[in-house]
Chain A
């Protein structure tokens, strides 16, 4: 039963957990925490099963796996389906989500105020994120996308720092503005094609083409909606492309839509920052790969150089701005901006290695940025500030913390042997073929990333010990437990990248085939 509806279980078990928490009395804190642990541990276990049996079940083909499809809302021709499934593109991200959420619960251990609501919202967030990753119906995708938005808003807005209201509203409105564009595009797509299905499926022996197949075979022209498929001098496909792109670009975030991110990160509590950087940003990238680019292949072809430029700006500009920060968390936030630029650059390059690097970068950034935000959280919990210049020599006092931070920083700056290197190098290698100049400029980001991370490390951890912090306790067992899985994954996929590349290979090939040669 579980194997047949694996994705449904992964997605909705946290919802059951949320309901259980809501029913639990608010005074039973241990019970609530326990429920949250169980409700995130089960999906984690299932996603591990999914990963470890990947390829063994359905031969590891490029096809979608664990597909479930039942009608959800039906009114005449209007059909919204509960249509879910995963391929090599989404499966690692689902697993990453489950891991991050599980760790997120432990990282939230110290949250006392309104913890019942907090954990309920956290679990709802997991439903939204995993639901978005597994959706193969664009309407369903949109529903989950919005479900994810609201808990995030409250988690920042209630449990955040001093400027939490501002940051939460900014995050919410910014993302909502993108969602509106996406909604418009979805409605238009439905009006043109009469379907919400992203992937094709068979119904009663008859092939029902999904949106991507229709796009690939150039059947989405918009000619039946507006004359000639041109609206205000811009082709329908271009409109759709930009609507989707902006919606996803805000989430990634792509310059110049990135300014909500540092604010949200700085104000959000540590576990929420971890989830935000670790997985929420990936939804933007995933959206582009799953829907945004293949839905308008010709527009993508037309504009991809511009996208590559934007990606390059993200990488280099993000690194320079990060260097100018004195708030530890803001620095890490801007490093995310820089790192996510690789995703766009690699995707725009449209080479096998470039796309693979981009997809891998999403996963690897998920682990390394999660680690970085946990690292910031450790010091913030102890010193109650994040001013880079206010520390110094912490290695003396906190050697284990210093060691883990070294690992996290070097993973983030792309040291070979750690995961970030593989994805960055593959992205640059792949994009060099298409955009040599932009790639060379992006390489500046490689140096700058090393620079700002090492300067930060120098200020916080090296040098003479600041006497103010001569009594700080070293990293606790719980904190090590939170960081260890990410450290392990950084090393594992840095040393054995084939473990994940073998999963991505067929999916990336499939992705590239969606575009007319």
Chain B
């Protein structure tokens, strides 16, 4: 079986067998070895990321020469991946257990990425072996990513038609999908980081797709560098974890952290720091405050790319990372995660109110929704946060593709030039409306269930913990939920309702063709149904089960509770259940209220015109200006960090040129003075080294003269003579 694995990778030399993760041997034994997963299943899972990779490789070398510039190849590969992911997902659901976890390393399949010798130097030098970790989370993510990627590929066939770099575009989005799929399946942080950075590259390439536009070339560099700041901090976090635990495999880390916390009776500070550094990676990739600045600018990429970045890849990776890292985040680190996430939620939502560019609104809404997910995980609702990531992927992909369809039709991104498009573009209108209802948190639509779960968890955490710090996320998130409903309906009203504000653009508008409409319909459908089953099973389908996601992806129980550490605040089960019930009810009421209020207000402003937005903007003059300018964060960075960097680089260059090199040239001049100079000076300076250098100069000069006579042979003779002379000096020392 090893042979087939390595044959698949064509790297027999680089593979190695790693035996049994002892961790969940017992769980596996109960359900048969590896939950009935065979090597073939692992091959299929491996094929999911490799299909787009191979398609990418074919595409970059011969894509332009293929019929239709190869788009069918990449799209086909993605759909095959989707098929495989669905097949394995069905097997995963068949196992139906929260403990479901298949590790390729436990099955003896692994790829030795880095090797080291067993040294006798007393340093831990573990090998890094990459494998596949397939559990409920990665199973669900794999389906979501392949689904959204496939639909984005399909959509792009229509949207990007006629683009001068059509083939390159398809190659790059396939590489993007490959990186995300690889990341989802990684069983260790090393490979996770590799794919993580690859996504940085892909986002750079795709945001800069229209590289000839000045704004696009700035945006892609900004995206790469901003996320790289976070990535570098993440890397330092990984260094700490590696040095302390000697492993970066997820399952091993969980075990070792638990042992450590139990043994020490608490969380050491360095672990908090490491956790926060890892979280910095998320801050960068998932565009959390204060590294959110790249994401709105990333709208410079073609719209399908935005859908890709915002739904299936990149930003989802950050949330996925916190979800995976949650078990080694200390309580303090979790609080920071919750605060950063919830602050980002409200911060970005407020900016969303004022934006007039349809894609910018969606961009800020993404940042805000990511804040929800991160905050949800921070308050302990890992399941809720990750579930929101999945529902959000469906409706946000739909919204972005819908906005793409609109832009394709009216050739503008400014909502002030749209209006009344619902008659012209019924499919786009309906799917976007459904998705807006979902993101606004209207019951029966997907976003309601997932957002509600996050809010409930935040309230529960605040009630259980009691510290006022934990009430901050609650306040932030409820407010943000209301604002979200407001600005999303503002978007729908301004785009689709009312009278057309630009008659010429309106007249040219038309519904998009099937390659663009089908993805919208599929995603719109999912925006309705993919939330079902979180709390309640689907009646008559799985009557005996609770909600599938909640049942299969249980929140990790924090170690201090699991082990009843001294000093840990333990509540009895009845109290916890009571609080949960209370939190759930109040959260549902609260979220319904804020969503309703937000929708009503936006209707009042933009549909019924009862309230005048412009007048309100004037009333809140300075605040409006502040928000309209995105709180001047970009300006702040360019005045401080960026200007500072350029200043340091300027000073360093001058220092190098005039001081470091100045000294060298000064020495050189002095030497020349010495060697060409007066006999008197020679007598004074008796330093042998100086004399030697002087002689050297003269020797060079004479050799150079010889060479300029064009007789190279003499040079060789001369150097041999030089060597002989040197020898003589040594022998006769």
Query: Is B211 an interface residue, CB under 8 A from the partner?
Result: yes
Query: Is B482 an interface residue, CB under 8 A from the partner?
Result: no
Q: 8 Å CB contacts to A: which residues of B677-733? A: 689, 692-693, 696-697, 700, 703-704, 707, 710, 712-713, 715-716, 719, 722-723, 726-727, 730-731, 733
Contact residues in B for A120 (Cβ distance below 8 Å): 712
Q: Given contacts A177-B693, A429-B239, A498-B13, is CB(A324)–CB(B650) below 8 Å? A: yes
Partner pick for B116 among A356, A447, A450, CB 8 A cutoff: A356
Of the candidate stretches A231-239, A361-369, A469-477, A505-513, the one touching chain B is A505-513
Q: Given contacts A154-B707, A416-B198, A417-B198, is CB(A496)–CB(B11) below 8 Å? A: yes
* In the complex, residue of chain B having the shortest beta-carbon distance to the beta carbon of A416: B194
Contact residues in B for A502 (Cβ distance below 8 Å): 13, 115
Contact residues in A for B727 (Cβ distance below 8 Å): 73
Partner pick for A458 among B114, B201, B221, CB 8 A cutoff: B221
Chain B interface SS verdict (over half): helix
- Is the beta-carbon distance between A351 and B123 smaller than 8 angstroms? yes
Partner pick for A421 among B197, B214, B224, B692, CB 8 A cutoff: B197
Contact residues in A for B719 (Cβ distance below 8 Å): 146-147, 150
Query: Is A352 an interface residue, CB under 8 A from the partner?
Result: yes
Q: 8 Å CB contacts to B: which residues of A179-230? A: 180, 183, 187, 190-191
Query: Is B18 an interface residue, CB under 8 A from the partner?
Result: no
Query: Is B212 an interface residue, CB under 8 A from the partner?
Result: yes
Q: 8 Å CB contacts to A: which residues of B345-392? A: none
Q: How far is the CB of A495 from chain B (nearest CB, A)?
A: 8
Partner pick for A498 among B112, B649, B656, CB 8 A cutoff: B112
Q: How far is the CB of A382 from chain B (nearest CB, A)?
A: 19
Q: Given contacts A416-B198, A499-B13, is CB(A450)–CB(B700) below 8 Å? A: no
Q: 8 Å CB contacts to A: which residues of B167-202? A: 193-198, 200-201
A117 to B716, CA, bound (A): 12
A317 to B649, CA, bound (A): 8
Q: Given contacts A75-B731, A260-B664, A324-B649, is CB(A451)–CB(B11) below 8 Å? A: no
- Is the beta-carbon distance between B661 and A259 smaller than 8 angstroms? yes
Q: How far is the CB of A26 from chain B (nearest CB, A)?
A: 10
Partner pick for A393 among B195, B205, B212, B239, CB 8 A cutoff: B212
A432 to B197, CA, bound (A): 21
Q: Given contacts A153-B700, A499-B14, A509-B119, is CB(A174)–CB(B664) below 8 Å? A: yes
Contact residues in A for B649 (Cβ distance below 8 Å): 320-321, 323-324, 452
Of the candidate stretches B73-81, B225-233, B548-556, B630-638, the one touching chain A is B225-233
Contact residues in B for A124 (Cβ distance below 8 Å): 716
- Is the beta-carbon distance between B232 and A446 smaller than 8 angstroms? yes
- Is the beta-carbon distance between A117 and B712 smaller than 8 angstroms? yes
- Is the beta-carbon distance between B712 and A429 smaller than 8 angstroms? no
Query: Is A85 an interface residue, CB under 8 A from the partner?
Result: no
- Is the beta-carbon distance between B194 and A462 smaller than 8 angstroms? no
* In the complex, residue of chain B having the shortest beta-carbon distance to the beta carbon of A158: B707
Contact residues in B for A143 (Cβ distance below 8 Å): 723
Query: Is B235 an interface residue, CB under 8 A from the partner?
Result: yes
Q: Given contacts A154-B707, A260-B664, is CB(A410)–CB(B201) below 8 Å? A: yes
A78 to B733, CA, bound (A): 11
Q: How far is the CB of A245 from chain B (nearest CB, A)?
A: 16
- Is the beta-carbon distance between B236 and A443 smaller than 8 angstroms? yes
On chain B, the number of residues with a Cβ less than 8 Å from chain A's Cβ atoms is 83
- Is the beta-carbon distance between A498 and B225 smaller than 8 angstroms? no
A439 to B205, CA, bound (A): 29
Of the candidate stretches A1-9, A29-37, A38-46, A165-173, the one touching chain B is A165-173
Q: 8 Å CB contacts to B: which residues of A299-354? A: 317, 320-321, 323-325, 351-353
Query: Is A428 an interface residue, CB under 8 A from the partner?
Result: yes
On chain A, the number of residues with a Cβ less than 8 Å from chain B's Cβ atoms is 93
Given contacts A173-B696, A324-B654, 12 further A-B contacts (CB under 8 A): A150-B715, A180-B689, A255-B660, A417-B198, A428-B235, A432-B240, A447-B229, A462-B211, A462-B216, A464-B212, A465-B212, A506-B117
Complex A-B: 12 CB contacts under 8 Å: A154-B707, A190-B730, A321-B649, A416-B194, A426-B114, A429-B242, A432-B240, A447-B225, A458-B221, A497-B114, A505-B117, A509-B119
Binding site for B on A (CB under 8 A): 22, 73, 75, 78, 114, 116-117, 120-121, 124, 143, 146-147, 150, 153-154, 157-158, 169-170, 172-174, 176-177, 180, 183, 187, 190-191, 255-256, 258-260, 317, 320-321, 323-325, 351-353, 356, 393, 395-396, 403, 406, 410, 415-417, 421-422, 425-426, 428-429, 432-433, 439-440, 443-444, 446-448, 450-452, 454-455, 458, 461-465, 496-499, 501-502, 505-506, 508-509, 512-513, 517
Binding site for A on B (CB under 8 A): 11, 13-14, 60, 112-117, 119-121, 123, 125, 193-198, 200-201, 204-205, 208, 211-214, 216-218, 220-221, 224-225, 228-229, 232, 235-236, 239-240, 242-243, 645-646, 648-650, 652-654, 656, 660-661, 663-664, 668, 671, 689, 692-693, 696-697, 700, 703-704, 707, 710, 712-713, 715-716, 719, 722-723, 726-727, 730-731, 733
A-B pairs with the 9 shortest C-beta distances?
A324-B653, A462-B217, A416-B194, A323-B649, A259-B661, A320-B652, A432-B239, A462-B211, A324-B649
